[in-house]
Amino acid sequence: MSYYKIKNLEEYFKHYKKSIREPRKFWGKIAEENFIWYQGWDKVVDFNMGEADVKWFVNAKVNITKNCIDRHLAKRGDKTAIIFEPNNPNEGALHISYNELYDRVAKMANVLREQGVKKGDRVCIYLPMIPELAIAVLACARIGAIHSVVFAGFSASAVTSRINDCECKMVITSDGGFRGNKSIDLKGIIDEALEKCPSVEKVLVANRTNTDVNMKEGRDQWLQPLLDAAIPNNVAEIMDAEDPLFILYTSGSTGKPKGMLHTTAGYMVQTAYSFKNIFNYEENDVFWCTADIGWITGHSYILYGPLLNGATTVIFEGVPSYPDFGRFWEVIDKHKVSQFYTAPTAIRSLAKESDEWVDKYDLSSLKVIGSVGEPINEEAWHWYNDHVGKKKCPVVDTWWQTETGSIMISPVPFVTPTKPTYATLPLPGIQPVLMDEKRNEIEGNQVVGSLCIKFPWPSMARTIWGDHERYKETYFSAFPGKYFTGDGALRDEVGYYRITGRVDDVVIVSGHNLGTAPIEDAINEHPAVAESAIVGFPHDIKGNALYGFIILKETGEYRDRDNLTREINEHVSSHIGPIAKLDKIQFVSGLPKTRSGKIMRRILRKIAEGDFSNFGDTSTLLNPEIVDEIKDNKI
């Protein structure tokens, strides 16, 4: 029997049981039957959770791009691999077949090699959502270079720290990018970022906006002429199963961003498997995930998952509101999209517009609709189900993380009965557990706890680049022997999971995972600021927004608070990016601190939420009187 596709609920339980009792047989069979390998493995998995040491498909040899592209050519050479839908609908979509994708990736891979990029080198990709982004990612994987895609909304200093952390040798960028009615000067941002990046030797620049940019002699080259001169044939690098595939940065609750390292074979097997099942993918479906390739969702479900299955995947350059609020629905109608995968924040912002925008288009091609990135509230779930899915398309509320590499808990459409706001059941192979404060596993149903995973899964991150201790400490120390997700969850009477939100100092704003510590660090650098504390509070569209409590230095300057508020936000934008802007800033004379000097964020969170009912135990506070002052001046 094959485990690659779950056909009904009975089969789900059967596969699930098998995957828990005999994980090696389960994943081994999936890996063997659905991919091409240069050489098989000695062992399916080898691990020591205490040391955060995990290996899958030990000693196997493979190249993920052979599986994404080459093996499809005989059967699907002329099939569309990528549909590029540009920001401006009048520009017209582009269809890239698997044959063309092969040629373009091969040329790009040859260019990278000619420019001195070798297996194991890090390449930073800072591009808008254009085909070159997909091609650059795949070309890196082709030659064994480690791609580090940095979302093209990050500021120069955020790019600098990400490039320096993993010492990228090359940057691939473009002159600019289009987003709605704006044009963004990406090359200018890279120029600024690279002033402090000694490791970068070369910059390749794609032409997207036809704008004049500064080209630094000896460092910068236009990409297209190099591609034009390259040959469309490339021998893929033979990669070990555990060779790094990519680094992707995610915010932490403390300090600098964490470069999550994903390796080759396990990531390949599980992204492909999860894509097939969670989206009920069948040949000739058109799959559209609206995320940016700069996030894990884009890595796994715009590129690798779909291409591994020989699917047609849409790359959308624009935004949901341009040229009008019908854009998503127009694109679904135009390309006859079968599976649509987006974020609750996008759903909420479109649900607040007139239903005419969505009713105007024919969405009958849709089969499955998905949600990711944050908890989806009941109202948004129903609007999505009623107006987009027309009550015929299962809503897959998919829970996972940058660290997990692929979807972990989600309904399997047409198999698992859905329940609004519930991610429902774990995929086969995934063993979630809820833990109590005493670090005990909570048995039974109708319980709440900290969500952990107790057995390794193939697509899990292997480490934080350059800092394995931090990886161990962040994910494997709170509950020894288990991976701690940082999320809280409840398990209902039938065993369905509902994610309740972060239990650490990470706030999810519009689906973007923001650590409060780096934002505080940025704010504290402002000359007027002595100290700050950031917390999240509920927001109708964004899910959460940021509330800053700020203590000013007593210099007497900066009397104009509106001006200062604006300046602080500009500071945050330039250090991290516009996504990290604060919605509310309250200037305070002190912050509630424990005797050991820790800010009691729990109280600030309650104040920001406007819930003054019960602040819990404040007896350990050094300065309890400050709580009233902050509360009374709440914005």
Binding site for ligand PRX (CB under 6 A): 250, 296-297, 372-375, 397-402, 423, 485-487, 499, 502, 508, 513
- Tell me the three state secondary structure of residue 49: helix
Q: Which helix (H) or strand (E) holds 449?
A: strand 447-453
Q: Hey, what are 111's tokens?
A: 């260019």
Distances from the Cα of 18 to the Cα of 57, 172, 404, angstroms? 18, 44, 21
> How many Å apart are CA 6 and CA 239, to the nearest integer?
30
Which is nearer to ligand PRX, 80 or 297 (by Cβ)?
Answer: 297
Distances from the Cα of 490 to the Cα of 390, 426, 453, angstroms? 29, 13, 14
- Provide φ and ψ at 440, rounded to 5°: -100, 145
Which is nearer to ligand PRX, 67 or 398 (by Cβ)?
Answer: 398
- Rounded to the nearest 10°, the torsion over CA 89, 107, 60, 6 is 20
Which is nearer to ligand PRX, 400 or 475 (by Cβ)?
Answer: 400
> How many Å apart are CA 63 and CA 239, to the nearest integer?
6
Say which DSSP state 618 is in. -
CB of 451 to ligand PRX, least distance (A): 8
CB of 394 to ligand PRX, least distance (A): 14
Which is nearer to ligand PRX, 349 or 513 (by Cβ)?
Answer: 513
- What number of H helices and E strands is found in the chain? 21, 30
Which is nearer to ligand PRX, 116 or 255 (by Cβ)?
Answer: 255
CB of 74 to ligand PRX, least distance (A): 34
CB of 511 to ligand PRX, least distance (A): 7
Q: Nearest Cα to 126, choosing from 189, 54, 169, 36?
A: 189
CB of 581 to ligand PRX, least distance (A): 18
CB of 508 to ligand PRX, least distance (A): 5
> How many Å apart are CA 486 and CA 400, to the nearest integer?
11
Which is nearer to ligand PRX, 487 or 520 (by Cβ)?
Answer: 487
Which is nearer to ligand PRX, 458 or 486 (by Cβ)?
Answer: 486
Q: Hey, what are 321's tokens?
A: 């509101």
CB of 421 to ligand PRX, least distance (A): 8
Say which DSSP state 443 is in. P
> How many Å apart are CA 452 and CA 583, to the nearest integer?
32
Which is nearer to ligand PRX, 65 or 513 (by Cβ)?
Answer: 513
Say which DSSP state 87 is in. S
> How many Å apart are CA 203 and CA 170, to the nearest integer?
6
Which is nearer to ligand PRX, 377 or 565 (by Cβ)?
Answer: 377
State CA 268 to chain mean position distance: 16
> How many Å apart are CA 370 and CA 18, to the nearest integer?
27
Q: Hey, what are 288's tokens?
A: 């559209």
CB of 331 to ligand PRX, least distance (A): 21
CB of 417 to ligand PRX, least distance (A): 17
CB of 397 to ligand PRX, least distance (A): 5
Which is nearer to ligand PRX, 239 or 296 (by Cβ)?
Answer: 296
Which is nearer to ligand PRX, 145 or 499 (by Cβ)?
Answer: 499
Which is nearer to ligand PRX, 20 or 490 (by Cβ)?
Answer: 490
Does residue 311 contact residue 285 with C-beta atoms inside 8 Å?
yes
CB of 353 to ligand PRX, least distance (A): 23
Say which DSSP state 415 is in. T
- Cβ neighbours of 48 (radius 10 Å): 12
Residue type, 180: G
Sign of dihedral through CA atoms 382, 384, 390, 394? negative
Q: Nearest Cα to 634, choosing from 569, 587, 568, 565?
A: 587
- Tell me the three state secondary structure of residue 33: helix
Which is nearer to ligand PRX, 98 or 496 (by Cβ)?
Answer: 496
Q: Hey, what are 26's tokens?
A: 């389960």
CB of 405 to ligand PRX, least distance (A): 9
Say which DSSP state 628 is in. H
CB of 30 to ligand PRX, least distance (A): 22
Q: Hey, what are 627's tokens?
A: 């709580």
Which is nearer to ligand PRX, 81 or 408 (by Cβ)?
Answer: 408
> How many Å apart are CA 503 and CA 564, to the nearest integer?
31
> How many Å apart are CA 242 and CA 144, to the nearest integer?
12
Sign of dihedral through CA atoms 241, 245, 249, 255? positive
Q: Nearest Cα to 588, choosing from 538, 520, 526, 635?
A: 635
Which is nearer to ligand PRX, 27 or 475 (by Cβ)?
Answer: 475
